[in-house]
Amino acid sequence: MAAPTFESEKVLVIFVLGGPGAGKGTQCERLVSQYGFVHLSAGDLLRAEQNRQGSQYGQLIADHIKEGKIVPQEITIALLRNAMDQAVASGGKTLAGHDVGPEHKDKWTGGKGRFLIDGFPRKMDQAVGFDETVCNSRFVLFLHCSEEVMLGRLLERGKTSGRADDNEESIKKRFRTFVETSMPVVDYYRKQDRVVEVDSQQDVAKVTEDIRKAMDQTFAKLGQAA
Ligand code: UDP
Ligand code: MG
């Protein structure tokens, strides 16, 4: 089999998983500046592709998102690979307009880079496909949250998010997909001792602090500079 697109010695990939509304996007945004990560949300990339003029996948993506189903892995993996390519080639800039900034440029030279990939992989085939063909991921940050809390957050977000899946009917379907399809991915990485778990039910700042501690410990264990 062909080698992955990115070498894991140069490109660090951390997957951020947790149920819908667990706080993945919020927490990733709060971590990028400290560590010089580029944050890629699989859901955001899919929504951007859905809205792109001329995309042949627009309707398919829209249907899957509304039903809380997982879009075929080829599409999501291609979007992630493109976004990673663009960030590595430009020294830490994204198409969405983010730049890791001058203090982190040393982590983004000579083909190097570091990514937080949020909301992916949420199905076994994606996990295996990405690790084998794009980049071998280092570890998973898993955010724990009860369905009750997640439901409350998503309904609140739904008042302003404009997202087609932040309504009670879609949320129930997303919870089901999470339990049946995405938790096996977390268990797969747990068996390999590659999951860092944090309780994300507390307030945002406390969760960020807990993640930072867990992240620093993990970096130390891996011999990776934070
Ligand atoms: N999605 C998908 N594959 C992925 C990630 C997301 O098909 O790898 C779709 C899926 O339908 C999911 C929706 O995008 O329910 C929204 O994902 P997002 O990560 O934005 O939701 P969150 O978990 O952050 O609430
Ligand atoms: Mg999200």
pLDDT in tens, 83-120: 999 999 999 999 889 999 999 999 999 999 999 999 99
Rounded alpha-carbon distances, angstroms, from residue 209 to 40, 78, 215: 21, 33, 10
Q: What is the rounded distance in angstroms from the CA atom of residue 139 to the CA atom of residue 119?
A: 14
Is 69 marked as a binding-site residue? yes
pLDDT in tens, 27-76: 999 999 999 999 999 999 999 999 999 999 999 999 999 999 999 999 99
| pLDDT confidence of residue 44 | 97
Strands of the 38-41 sheet, one edge to the other:
38-41, 113-118, 11-18, 139-144, 195-199
| pLDDT confidence of residue 95 | 86
Q: Is 69 in the pocket of ligand 1 (CB under 6 A)?
A: yes
DSSP string across the chain = -PPPSS-TTTEEEEEEEESTTSSHHHHHHHHHHHHTPEEEEHHHHHHHHHHSTT-TTHHHHHHHHHHTPPPPHHHHHHHHHHHHHHHHHTTSB-TTS-B--GGGGGGGSTT-EEEEEET---SHHHHHHHHHHT----EEEEEE--HHHHHHHHHHHHHHH--TT-SHHHHHHHHHHIIIIIHHHHHHHHHTT-EEEEE--S-HHHHHHHHHHHHHHHHHHHT---
DSSP bridge partners of 198: 143
Which atom number of ligand 1 is nearest to the Cα of residue 21? 25
Residue nearest to atom 13 of ligand 1 (CA): 65
Q: Is 104 in the pocket of ligand 1 (CB under 6 A)?
A: no
Q: What is the rounded distance in angstroms from the CA atom of residue 83 to the CA atom of residue 139?
A: 20
Indicate whether 21 pLDDT > 90: yes
Which atom number of ligand 1 is nearest to the Cα of residue 67? 11
Q: What is the rounded distance in angstroms from the CA atom of residue 136 to the CA atom of residue 171?
A: 31
Is 43 marked as a binding-site residue? no
CATH number (3.40.50.300, 3.20.20.10, 3.40.50.2000, 1.10.3720.10) of 11-222 reads 3.40.50.300
pTM of the model: 0.96
Joined together, the tokens standing for residue 60 give 């398919």
Task: Return the ligand number nearest the Cα of 28.
Answer: 2
CA of 88 to the centre of ligand 2 (A): 23
